Structure 1
Amino acid sequence: MYLVGIGVVLLLLKYLEVAPVALWSWWLVLAPFGLATAWWYWADSSGYTKRKAMEAEQAKKQSRIDRNKEAMGNLNAKKRK
């Protein structure tokens, strides 16, 4: 997402002809968009995106479990047989 933001800023600077970006090649100005596309392709094809989503879900689930146990007062209680 950072690459897209950088690309938008560079695009605006080029369009508004702000120096020194106004003198740069269009290829250089548009390069962050290409890099962002390559990053997204790699992240999706390697499973990085799915792995991070699963880690976030697991962290939320564990937080919810801990919060509920604490609210019930059973945080350190042992199971009865």
Structure 2
Amino acid sequence: MWLLIVGLVAIGLKYFEVGFFAGLSWWIVLSPFPAAMVWWAFADWSGYTARRAMERDDARKQARIDRQRDALGLTTRARGAARRKP
């Protein structure tokens, strides 16, 4: 995602001929887009995307379970809490 944002900003700066970007070649300005395509292909091939999606789903599921337990008053105490003497 960051590569796309960098690419869009670079296109805008090149188009309006702002500072350093005015003298750059269009090939350099457009290079973040193929880099983003390569990153997405690698992320899909390696399973990175699926792993991140599963982690996000697991975190959302655990948060929902914790909210439901709190609402029912079923929160668990820490293991050492029952053994402590006042």
Query: Which SS does the other structure have where 2:31 is aligned?
Result: helix
Query: Which SS does the other structure have where 1:20 is aligned?
Result: helix
Query: Which SS does the other structure have where 2:28 is aligned?
Result: helix
CA distance in 2, matches of 1:55, 1:20: 41
Structure exhibiting the larger radius of gyration computed from Cα positions: 2
Residue number in structure 1 paired with 2:58: 58
Q: Which structure 1 segments of 5+ residues have no match?
A: none
**What is the RMSD computed on CA atoms of the aligned residues?**
1.2
Residue number in structure 1 paired with 2:80: none
Q: Which structure 2 segments of 5+ residues have no match?
A: 78-86
1:13-71: CA deviation from partner (whole Å, max 9, x where unpaired):
11111121011011110111111111111011111001000000000000100110011
Q: TM-score, normalised by structure 2?
A: 0.84
Aligned residues: 77
Residue number in structure 1 paired with 2:83: none
